[in-house]
Amino acid sequence: MINKDKNIKSKLSTRIYEDKYFEKLNEWQEHQYDLGHYTGGNISPIISDPGRPSVLGWFFVISSLIFSVLILVVIFMHFDGESILPILTVALVVVGLSTIQFIAGVRLNGRNPSKYVSFE
């Protein structure tokens, strides 16, 4: 019985959130070219309520791991043993960029989705 009540409350709060979101989006679309309308702190609902950042976070994490592994495998498959400096430079750049992308994905996954839901 308690689980059913939580499920009903969850669906109701989601529906209220979606209604508020679409009202804000409609208002923004009507007034997006009015110069003074959004100077009082009102911003686009796309920016204020970004939705589900965890999906993008998981995409960043998985794609960074796949990218770094594939590039490093290709680099070391073609390593001839003569010059290590160019290969090491490319490997460090690839690992560095993949690390930045991985950290961004972890930070997006670590965010609390309740921070983005505002019931006004």
**Residue extents of the structural domains in the chain:** 1-50, 52-111
* Residue 117, Ramachandran bin (φ over 0: left; ψ between -120 and 50: alpha; else beta): beta
For residues 50 and 90, what is the distance between their CA atoms, to the nearest angstrom?
A: 35
Helices (H), the chain: 2-31, 45-48, 53-77, 85-110
Residue 3 in tokens: 């689980």
pLDDT at 46: 66
Q: Could you identify the residue written with the tokens 């983005």?
A: 116
Q: What is the pTM of this model?
A: 0.51
What is the mean pLDDT of each successive set of 10 residues along the chain, which is 120 residues long? 54 61 81 73 68 78 92 81 81 91 85 51
